[in-house]
Structure 1
Amino acid sequence: MMIVCSSMQAAAGELGKYPNTTIGFVHVDDVVLCHVLAMEDARASGRLICSCDVAHWSEILGSLRERYPQYPIPTECSAQKRDDRPHRMDTGKIRALGFPPFLSVQQMFDDCIKSFQDKGLLP
């Protein structure tokens, strides 16, 4: 939920400075599919990581500024240093169960922006 709120605030120009952090991203449709697969496949056990990519907010917002120039997406990074170490998440367990390729971060944000527009939350 925090990512959705932050994404909408960023697109609406309400975020101010963006967080100085690197985090994992995943499309909500992939999360749903992952849950269904885990419930239906008896081989599923333990923790299953569902993450398409890891990126710093500067990368994400830079891409959004290019794709959606009509929105006042922040350009200034917070001085507060958070976890910005490059890392990866091992999705091998869910892929071994037959999970298809994850939707891209770009697709995730395109669908997110479209949903906000459809609901009247963004022009």
Structure 2
Amino acid sequence: MPKDEFVFDQPCPIRDVLDRIGDQWSMLVLVTLAARTMRFNELMREIGDVSKQMLSKTLKRLEQDGFVARTAYPEVPPRVEYALTDLGRSFLEPLGSLVRWADDNHRAIAEARKREG
């Protein structure tokens, strides 16, 4: 396989990417890190109801996909910080559009659900 050929988890690249960033916690982590670089416990406090295990898993996946950078400092006690990468920051604009669309259309969606339910 040529080195510039990518292998996706799914045959559709769009689905592959959206499945990874579209979960319950990834978008919240990205939006929260948009404000500044943070440590793990800061992220937990800002996000709220995420468990340590789920936040850790989400950060690892976002780091694997290149959205988040993890920097560990050789200090006592150890200090680890998380920040958006250029790729992560580039996602904020389309994410913002999606958030605005959801906010603008949430009432209509809720009303449609009531009619169908």
- TM-score scaled by length of structure 2: 0.29
Which of the pair has the greater relative contact order for Cα pairs under 8 Å at 6+ separation?
Answer: 1
Higher Cα Rg, which structure: 2
TM-score by length of 1: 0.28
Greater per-residue helix proportion: 2
